[in-house]
Amino acid sequence: MALAVAAGCDVAAHHVDHGLRATSTTEAATAETIARQLGADFVLHRVALEPGPNLEARARDARRAVLPPDALTGHTADDQAETVLLRLLRGSGGTGLGAMRPGPAHPLLSLRRSDTEALCRELGVEPVRDPSNHARDVWRNRIRHELMPLATDIAGRDLTPILGRTATILREEGDYLDQLAGEIDPTDAPAVAAAHPVLARRALRSWLTEAGYPPDGAAIDRVLAVAHGDATACELPGGRRVERSGQRFRIVDR
């Protein structure tokens, strides 16, 4: 917010109150105070979430549903490094390990978390410190507080820029492979079967991605099996299936 205001932008701060903590109303009020202090407008969104499994993912989905599509986030280079490790632990391929794509949506991705904290101190802003960032049942928190310090100690150097460079290389390679995969018609079963598996998987992943969430590798492999004639149909996550009729694929909602 501070950098956007200083750059002369017309700034509106959006705060999402998930209602998960007794202090959430106070935190929202503090966020509004900070926004007004910095010269930004303020928009409050309230969403209803119940405690339970996959809370982090459900909270993220709820935020995405209420935030404007052109909202900017404050993710830093440290967040990027954590994302690479998080996706590695979840078994992501090259596309997932490319992590967050730099650009207008992530204007602070080249800065360190320490830079943002230093700016707050310089401006006399006391940020809200989310206690859930220390919950040990959240993978990202354990990566931040346990894995990153341990890996940095083992390597004897700061791993954040190294992991960031790895993500950049994988993203650039992925963009090139996507360009090649774009020449394949993913609904043409013989064309998918004849393509190199690396390109075939990317073509299918692009076609089958729904609401920004690609299917997992196992689902892609099931569709490839249909392309090669090992099956006539297969199930996809989310209650969908891919069927082959003649030489063509089609997606069917169950």
The last residue of one of the domains, among 12, 47, 71, is 71
pLDDT (tens digit per residue) in 166-176? 999 999 999 99
Residues 51-65, buried b or exposed e (16+ Cβ, 10 A)? eeeebeeebeebbee
Average pLDDT, integer, range 223-231 = 95
Decide if 195 contacts 180 (C-beta within 8 A): no
Instruction: Indicate which CATH number applies to the domain containing 139.
Output: 3.40.50.620
The last residue of one of the domains, among 181, 202, 226, is 181
Q: Can you tell me the distance from the alpha carbon of 92 to that of 90, in angstroms, rounded to the nearest whole number?
A: 6
Task: Indicate if the alpha-carbon torsion angle 46, 30, 127, 147 is positive or negative.
Answer: negative
Q: Can you tell me the distance from the alpha carbon of 53 to that of 62, in angstroms, rounded to the nearest whole number?
A: 15
Q: Can you tell me the distance from the alpha carbon of 61 to that of 68, in angstroms, rounded to the nearest whole number?
A: 13
Are residues 177 and 187 part of one domain?
A: no
Gyration radius of the chain's alpha carbons: 22
Model pLDDT, residue 102: 95
- Average pLDDT in the chain: 92
pLDDT (tens digit per residue) in 97-129? 999 999 999 999 999 999 999 999 999 998 888
Average pLDDT, integer, range 240-248 = 91
Are residues 48 and 83 part of one domain?
A: no
Are residues 193 and 171 part of one domain?
A: no
pLDDT (tens digit per residue) in 211-223? 666 788 889 999 9
Return the SS3 of 112. Answer: coil
Are residues 219 and 122 part of one domain?
A: no
Average pLDDT, integer, range 139-160 = 96
pLDDT (tens digit per residue) in 85-94? 999 998 888 8
Decide if 152 contacts 158 (C-beta within 8 A): yes
What is the value of pTM for the model shown? 0.84
**How many percent of the chain have pLDDT more than 90?**
74
* Contacts (Cβ under 8 Å, ≥6 apart) of 29: none
Residues 186-201, buried b or exposed e (16+ Cβ, 10 A)? bbbbebbbebeeebbb
Are residues 40 and 109 part of one domain?
A: no
Are residues 85 and 115 part of one domain?
A: yes
Decide if 83 contacts 100 (C-beta within 8 A): yes
pLDDT (tens digit per residue) in 32-53? 999 999 999 999 999 988 777 7
| pLDDT at position 71 over 90 | yes
What Å distances lie between residue 130 and 114, 140, 227, CA to CA?
16, 14, 48
Return the SS3 of 234. Answer: strand
| pLDDT at position 56 over 90 | no
Q: Which domain holds residue 158?
A: 72-181
Are residues 176 and 79 part of one domain?
A: yes
Are residues 187 and 157 part of one domain?
A: no
CA angle 73, 76, 106 (to 5 degrees): 35
Number of domains in the chain: 3
Are residues 245 and 187 part of one domain?
A: yes
pLDDT (tens digit per residue) in 176-213? 999 999 999 999 999 999 999 999 999 999 999 876 66
Model pLDDT, residue 211: 60
Return the SS3 of 184. Answer: coil
